[in-house]
Structure 1
Amino acid sequence: MNLMLAARAYEGSDELRLEKLPVPEPGPQDVVIKVASAGLAPGMMRLKARGAFKHLPTTPGHEVAGTVTAVGDEADATLLGRLVRFDSVLSCRECRYCRTDREQMCAESAMIGHAAFGTGSLELYARYHDGGLAEYVRVPSWLVDVLPDGVSADVGAKVHDFGNAVRALRNAEVPEGGTLVITAATGTMGTASIKLAPFYGAGRLILVGRSAERLEALRPLAGDLPVETVALDDLDDGWESDGGLTRRLRELVPAGPDAVVDYLPQGPGTGQAMGSMATGATLVHMGGNGTPLPFDVRTMMHRCWRFVGTRSCTRGDTNAVLDLLGSGRLRVDELITHRFALTDVNDALAAMEDRTEPMWMTVVRPEGEES
């Protein structure tokens, strides 16, 4: 029996356990991928602690690129030997959401190597919950995308996060040349959104984050777009309760920004960013912030604001990313700032949680090659 190394999540443990498991065999419609690179999501262990991982023990890892080493009898045999990534969102493929490029809203919605969000039977999730923090992973062939020429496995592994950014930017509906605020700009989703913003209408960016130094490092990512930054640590004491972020954004944009893409996981920044917006503007939230908004629905009505909550991405979103990467118009290799060996996966998780040093995007490589 061929064995592989895998990082396993167990009930009640805040670390992953390295184990030897059998290399998976493909079912009729499956492929087996030898993992070259697996993306690491900072919120993964928090979701597990909340009970969102419905099958434990499991192998996490929903962002993967690698080479197809085996295909099932009913799968596309031409995938064998190709460098691919897989789309991690499982869904029924038949409901009104799945038929309209909204599969993350399907009752069967769940993610390979990640959490389950749907309220249905989750039969596919039961079969495919094991993900890619391992040397090999088995996935449905219909979720596999061949990577364009010149796209590395590291970038391929992070296509899902870029797809999330596309989902947020599409929902923001930034008017052509408009001013876009991106909060939590120094994180994975913030940096992805900066790179993609020029393709979705933005003509000016305002980046919000904790540290002025870390925000300054983001300027080159925006290409030719003008960029201004707002460091929360530099706002006046008490900004959290007296609207200091709203005032600062209005100083920069007196009429208010045209849209906000918000990834803040907690705190008053979401509401204060929204409070700065122009009449008719949109805030898209993808941060899981539980802090109540500081105004009532009537205020939102009078200002004609839109609030859009969204999570994950669709196949249409990731296809848009792959098209941009394949055309050469989008280059994102510089966003992969940290690489860890699979044997050091817990060190990687700790570093992402600690955030002592800037980490834009992090991948795990089963064959090592840390940096």
Structure 2
Amino acid sequence: MTDLRTEPAQPASTPTATTPPEYMRAARYHRVGDPFQIDVVETPRPRPTDVLVQVKACGLVPNTSNSLNPPPMVQAPALPAIYGLDPAGVVVEVGSLVYGFEVGDRVYVNPLRYCGSCPHCRKGNVLACDYATLNGYFGTGPKSARMLRDYPHGGYAEYLAAPHYSLVKLPDRVSFETAARWGYLGTAYSGLRRAGVDMSTTVLINGVSGTLGLGATLFALALGAPMILGVGRDAERLERVKALAPDRIHVHATTDSRSIEDWVRKMTDGIGADVVIDALPAGTRVAVFSAAAAALARGGTHVNIGGILEDVTMSPPRIMTSNQTYMGSFWFTTAEGQEMADLAASGTVDLGVLEHEIYGLEDINTAMTTLAAGERDGGFSNFVISP
């Protein structure tokens, strides 16, 4: 673990289980293009169905810089804003209508917010809620502006208030720094689950050594996939991925003269991959997306969790006659987040490969610059802000 923190300034008062400080430090984003500022703001108060969490770690994801100036299809929070997508910490105050959580519980806070009352929410499809919002990031629903106002505090602060439905209880063997990666891990895990990955599934992961791709690999192993085919650019990182399970993971560099489809079909006796997980980062050529999609087996499922923003040409007749399914998977539910924690608690998934690079709250701009410069070891690097 690499710890790049400088000693943070101490809060004005030391919190206890019943008396959190009146004020806290927070990294706030005031204007597009400007750096974060460290401000002293009021500590949020939990409502009856909320808890107050003292943040111990919050992920700094590769897409953070893009989220600060989001595309038109999402709703940005009002500035100045406290960002921070993946907070983990300790419950220090519990609302009067919260059941099952107590002061002192170690938790990950799923940033997904939703109304709980609409037809989509009542069916469990909370990501389709009109109020759907990723707290500390942006809103995805047409009514998410209200949710952004109701829950304005992300994880780049010393405390945040969160609804009890968002909490994942963390086992002792999952550190706060590892939990700060739960969002990208969960996105991959949910995609695998939706595709039905199990002990009989051949999985092709496009972008296998990136932040999303590595998570998909770890949980595909945990779900029992006997063959994982990974595609990426960096030959050295590909070999690191393969070393996680040499008998089950096979890798292919995009610089290889063979096409992805030819390689996959050779590895699967001409059948193709049962499931294709596209985990490509933003800015990747559409041709790389299409090349992996072409390796999907008849009856297979393609799940897009990556950052391709351009339109892709598809063949409806081929999809129909091959009985294939194409879907997107954007985030994950708190229930899935708890399943991940349980898999980690039992040792079924090994998250020890993550290399934590920890920055104090006051060093967030340095962390942003380092991340934007590409100074990381692909998906193995885990950038964390520790307030």
TM-score, structure 1 normalization: 0.88
- Aligned 8 A contact 1:345 1:364 in 2: no
8 Å contact kept, 1:14–1:45 = no
Q: Deviations over 1:231-253 (max 9, x none)?
A: 12x234xx9xxxx3333333433
Q: Which residue of 2 aligns with 1:261?
A: 277
Q: Distance in 1 between matches of 2:122 and 2:343?
A: 24
> CA distance change for structure 1 residues 339 and 108 in 2, over 3 Å: closer, same or farther?
same
Q: Paired residue for 1:29?
A: 49
Asked whether the equivalents of residues 166 and 193 of structure 1 are also in contact (C-alpha less than 8 Å), the reply is: yes
Asked if the contact 1:282–1:305 (Cα under 8 Å) also holds between the matched residues in 2, the reply is yes
Q: Distance in 2 between matches of 1:258 and 1:76?
A: 41
The CA deviation at 1:284 is 0.4
Corresponding residue number in structure 2 for 1:228:
250
- After TM superposition, the structure 1 = structure 2 runs for residues 165-180 of structure 1, keeping only pairs within 5 Å, are 165-174=188-197, 176-180=199-203
Q: How far apart are the structure 1 equivalents of 2:129 and 2:332? A: 12
Q: Is the 8 Å Cα contact of residues 63 and 132 (structure 1) preserved in structure 2? A: yes
Q: What is the alpha-carbon distance in structure 2 between the residues aligned to residue 280 and residue 100 of structure 1?
A: 27
Q: For 1:246, which of 238, 261, 282 is the aligned residue?
A: 261
Do structure 1's residue 217 and structure 2's residue 236 form an aligned pair? no
Which sits farther off after the overlay, 25-34 or 101-110? 25-34
8 Å CA contact 2:165, 2:334 repeated in 1: no
Aligned partners of 1:342 and 1:364 also within 8 Å: no
Deviations 1:314-336 (A, max 9, x none): 12321211221222322313224
Query: How far apart are 1:121 and its partner, in Å?
Result: 5.7
2:146 alignment counterpart: 123
Matches within 5 A, 1:1-371: 2-13=22-33, 15-50=35-70, 52-76=75-99, 79-120=102-143, 122-174=145-197, 176-221=199-244, 223=245, 225-232=247-254, 234-236=255-257, 244-253=259-268, 254-264=270-280, 265=282, 266-267=284-285, 268-360=287-379, 361-366=381-386
Q: 1:308 to 1:188 in 2, by over 3 A?
A: same
C-alpha spacing 1:74/1:292, structure 2 compared with 1 (3 Å): closer
* CA deviation string 1:108-148 (max 9, x = no partner): 10011111001126433311032011121121233223222
- Counterpart Cα distance in 1 of 2:383 and 2:343: 21
Runs of 4+ in structure 1 off by over 6 angstroms are: none
1: distance between equivalents of 2:136 and 2:314?
38
On the 8 A contact 2:358/2:386 being kept in 1, the answer is: no
Query: What one-letter code is carried by the residue in structure 1 that aligns with 2:253?
Result: A
Shift of residue 14, structure 1, vs aligned partner: 5.3
Give the Cα–Cα distance (whole angstroms) in 2 for the partners of residues 357 and 256 of structure 1: 32
Indicate if the aligned counterparts of 1:337 and 1:359 stay in contact, CA closer than 8 A. Answer: no
Q: Aligned partner of 2:190: which letter? A: R
1:121 and 1:283 map into 2 onto residues whose CA distance is: 28
- Compared CA separation, residues 111 and 357, structure 1 to 2 (3 A): closer
Hey, what's the Cα distance between the residues in 2 that align with 1:59 and 1:203?
42
Unaligned runs of 5+ in 1: none
1:118 alignment partner, SS class: coil
CA separation of 1:323/1:294 partners in 2, compared to 1, >3 Å: closer, same or farther? same
Letter in 2 for 1:306: T
CA contact (8 A) 1:179 1:203 kept: yes
Alpha carbons of 1:225 and 1:36: their partners in 2 closer, same or farther (altered >3 Å)? farther
- The 1:5/1:206 distance shift into structure 2, 3 A limit, reads same
Matched length: 359
| Cα RMSD, aligned residues only | 2.3
CA contact (8 A) 1:109 1:122 kept: no
Query: Does the 8 Å CA contact 1:32/1:139 hold for their aligned counterparts?
Result: yes
Shift in Å at residue 78 of structure 1? Answer: 5.1
Structure 2 distance, partners of 1:82, 1:355, is: 35
- Percent identity over paired residues: 26
The SS at the match of 2:320 is helix
| Equivalent AA in structure 2 for residue 109 of structure 1 | A
Cα distance change of structure 1 residues 295 and 124 upon mapping to structure 2, 3 Å threshold: closer
- Please give the alpha-carbon distance, in whole angstroms, between the structure 2 residues aligned to 1:175 and 1:322: 18
292 and 346 in structure 1: CA distance in 2 versus 1, 3 angstrom threshold: same
Give the alignment's TM-score, normalised by structure 2: 0.85
Give yes or no for contact 1:352–1:359 (8 Å, CA) kept in 2.
no
Q: Aligned partners of 1:274 and 1:217: how far apart in 2?
A: 24
Q: How far apart, CA to CA, are the structure 2 residues paired with 1:144 and 1:229? A: 36
Identify, as 1 or 2, the structure richer in helix: 1
Bigger shift: residues 86-95 or 251-260 = 251-260
Q: Distance in 2 between matches of 1:229 and 1:15?
A: 39
